[in-house]
Structure 1
Amino acid sequence: MSETLREKIRTQAGNQCGYCRSLQKYVLGLLEIEHIIPKAKGGTEDEDNLWLACRLCNGYKGIQTDAIDPVTGRRVKLFNPRKQEWSRHFEWGEDGTQIIGRTACGRVTVIALQLNNIVSVTVRQQWVLAGWHPPKEI
Structure 2
Amino acid sequence: MNPFYTLVADRAFHRCEYCHAPELVFNFPFEVEHIIPLYRGGANAEFNLALACRSCNLRKGTRISGLDPESNREVSLFHPRQDLWDDHFQVDSDSGKLVAKTPIGRVAIAYLEMNSQAQVTARQLWIRLGLFP
Contact residue 66 and residue 77 of structure 1 kept, 8 A: yes
Q: Which runs of 5+ in 1 are unaligned?
A: none
Contact residue 68 and residue 108 of structure 1 kept, 8 A: yes
2:85 matched to which residue of 1?
Answer: 86
Residue identity over aligned pairs, in percent, reads 37
Give the alignment's Cα RMSD to 1 decimal: 1.7
Moved more, 37-46 or 26-35: 37-46
Distance in 1 of aligned mates of 2:117 and 2:37:
26
Listed one character per residue, the Cα deviations across residues 51-92 of structure 1 (whole Å, up to 9, x for unaligned) are 101000001111111011122221000000122110100101
Secondary structure of 1:71's aligned partner: coil
1:29 matched to which residue of 2?
Answer: 28
TM-score after normalising by structure 1: 0.88
Displaced runs of 4+ in structure 1, greater than 3 A? none
TM-score after normalising by structure 2: 0.91
Moved more, 95-104 or 39-48: 39-48
Alignment: residue pair count: 133
Secondary structure of 1:92's aligned partner: strand
Q: Which runs of 5+ in 2 are unaligned?
A: none
Moved more, 65-74 or 124-133: 124-133
Distance in 1 of aligned mates of 2:69 and 2:124:
27
Distance change (3 Å), C-alpha of 1:108 and 1:123? same
